[in-house]
A and B are shown apart, each in its own frame.
Chain A
């Protein structure tokens, strides 16, 4: 039982490049979330999904897109990376109460 798996764990991007972060869960959870963590800011919600095929914006959605084509996967995309998107990204899943977090992806945009 792997729980929530995030790939990659580390990545360095150049400004303007694109990339996709993958979150996979094997617990059949309906809800999935993408957060970003910045020093002194806590975790802030980027986008979330309440089920397969659904997505919605969170607190800080600008510059990101998401997709949930399969229930177990939640993808976070950066179309044109900016230095302001340097952060640690966490994915979480939930059956509706209780949360399982991935181990995070450290992204640096130079």
Chain B
């Protein structure tokens, strides 16, 4: 079945460091891909999305490119801030359904 795999955390970085959180997926058809962020004590918020191969989603300095050839959707940010500390979830939506499948989440800790 369809699935999403994320790199294990926690990921600990110093402020202004470069961030990469890996995400790979397995899916039939042509899924849409998402990154959600969960700040402490809150629900999830959509961070960015890409609906077809080679699309790049971007928001708040974060980027991710939909790579069909490597079935990946890695999240990147050039310079992280303490306020980026959160749990990040990669997710996919299978074609023509309302099902959303999440990865297990990656905790990011940014230290001043």
Asked if A and B are interacting partners, one says no
Please list the residues of chain A having a beta carbon within 8 angstroms of any beta carbon in chain B.
Answer: none
Please list the residues of chain B having a beta carbon within 8 angstroms of any beta carbon in chain A.
Answer: none
